[in-house]
A and B are shown apart, each in its own frame.
Chain A
């Protein structure tokens, strides 16, 4: 028997012993809630076992997660979207009389069905009608809203009036940062002389922003770890 197999059996055995202890001492209730907590703890530990090495427990937990997520999203989408919006509101099946008559829903329903024709080589061209509608509407909605939200409204704080305060200093920093980073991404001009110096300032601004993003990423990942360890210590082992 290899060292890996011993570790695997030892881990499963220890997990079983701990759960027997928790159930017999009444720390975990002998009902579905207790069973759910035990299962969640087992899956959490199985997923974290990847930190040691890839192993069958991790693979099992990973596949369970993918399967359960897919089934959950399918169920929610069926009841909230396909059943709730089309079967009930369009066809009136299962309607309690409060949904009203929504004949206009025929249009998106047909367009949705046309998308499914892509699976057929013979009538697959029909899907282009649905895609053309989707792209057209998407572009129509997106372009003006994105220009407004991400360009025009973002230009305002860049051009704010300067003042002797912390906000005024921030406004100068933003202005310098925006100009320097834009110059850095100006590839049609050789980065020498003044342009080269300004683009170097741009690199510094970019590096600082990458550092901030990385710091926040570490904080986020550790928060998730803290959440899981809190669950194991509190909900499962009752040590907190």
Chain B
């Protein structure tokens, strides 16, 4: 029993590897039931879609290290926006986000036949963290004088009438760091509804902001993205990862149970 407790961790890695590999190669569909916080994010976008000339701000605050979790959310939300004729302005608060978000915006916009400058615009990265948010709250054109193509924001049809954050109907942040909790919630405009998508590691810390209404909705990790894909009825990479996620979770639960049983068995024998 002692030997079983001190099992080589590489054996666990092998189980996890095959637990991921096999469901990806031979997918087994698992039921995906959208949670309350993901559904409320979806309903916010649906509410915005009913407004006259709706525009949302998508803030990209993630990088390559969290791309597998966040990118499926980006794709799903862009699809939802473009399918409902919601105009999208994209900004980056993380330097790495530009290279990930811009291609996604352009690819999804092309898929829905959207025109740059009229239906969507990409402002790129601006250093300054929360200072950028404060600046946008005062004067959007001062915070982002030009887009990534070098066009002044005043000359872009979509952004010419956006003077501050309050001119957006909804703000959504894709976060893999402090951006939701320490930048947007304290320094964003309270009167503009705000929601976020984050890595699974961050999600438990953000639930209190759902209770208080500071967050209108929350997409937590790959499962949040999969639930959103289910809501827009467009299953993609997040949904494909769910069977692997479920199998690996079962393996880990089995190892935890096994480890605890072995521990108690050795303690009784001692």
Contacts and interface: CB of A to CB of B under 8 A. Distances in A.
Contacts of B248: 222, 225-226
Contacts of B152: 98
A73 interface: yes
A100 B245 CA distance: 52
B21 interface: yes
A80 interface: yes
A153 B68 contact: no
A192 B34 CA distance: 44
A219 B221 contact: yes
Interface in B1-20: 10, 13, 16-17, 20
B126 interface: yes
Given A77-B127, A89-B145, A227-B69, A218 B24 contact: no
A146 B185 CA distance: 9
A233 interface: yes
Interface string B200-221: 1101110010011110000011
Contacts of B203: 216
Contacts of B204: 209, 212-213, 216
Main secondary structure of the interface of A (DSSP, over half): helix
Contact of A153 (B16, B126, B205, B214): B214
Given A209-B204, A226-B222, A52 B10 contact: yes
A188 B96 CA distance: 46
Contacts of A150: 186
A217 interface: yes
Interface string A195-226: 00000000000000100110011111111111
B24 A230 contact: yes
A219 B124 CA distance: 30
Contacts of A224: 65-66, 68-69
Given A227-B67, A239-B25, A80 B186 contact: no
Contact of A51 (B10, B124, B155, B211): B10
Contacts of A55: none
B145 A223 contact: no
A229 B17 CA distance: 9
Contacts of B124: 80
A73 B95 contact: yes
Given A73-B95, A99-B145, A222 B20 contact: yes
B125 A76 contact: yes
B195 interface: no
Contacts, number: 130
B241 interface: yes
A80 B125 contact: yes
A179 interface: no
A96 B145 CA distance: 12
Interface string A135-161: 000000110011011100110110000
A66 interface: no
B234 interface: no
Contacts of A7: none
A80 B143 CA distance: 12
A89 to B, nearest CB: 7
A226 B25 contact: no
A209 B205 CA distance: 9
Interface in A51-67: 51-52
B96 A223 contact: no
B220 A157 contact: no
Contact of B187 (A81, A145, A229, A230): A145
Nearest to A152: B212
Contacts of A239: 25
A146 B96 CA distance: 27
Nearest to A230: B24
A72 B201 contact: no
A174 interface: yes
Contacts of A81: 126-127
20 contacts: A76-B125, A77-B95, A80-B124, A81-B126, A89-B145, A99-B146, A145-B186, A153-B214, A174-B211, A216-B200, A219-B200, A220-B69, A220-B200, A220-B221, A223-B69, A226-B20, A226-B24, A227-B69, A227-B241, A230-B24
Closest 10 pairs between A and B when the two form their complex, measured CB to CB:
A227-B68, A220-B200, A223-B222, A145-B186, A157-B211, A76-B95, A149-B186, A219-B200, A220-B201, A226-B241
Given A226-B20, A239-B25, 18 more contacts: A51-B10, A73-B96, A96-B150, A148-B186, A174-B211, A213-B205, A216-B220, A219-B221, A221-B201, A222-B245, A223-B199, A225-B248, A226-B241, A227-B67, A229-B24, A229-B244, A230-B24, A233-B24
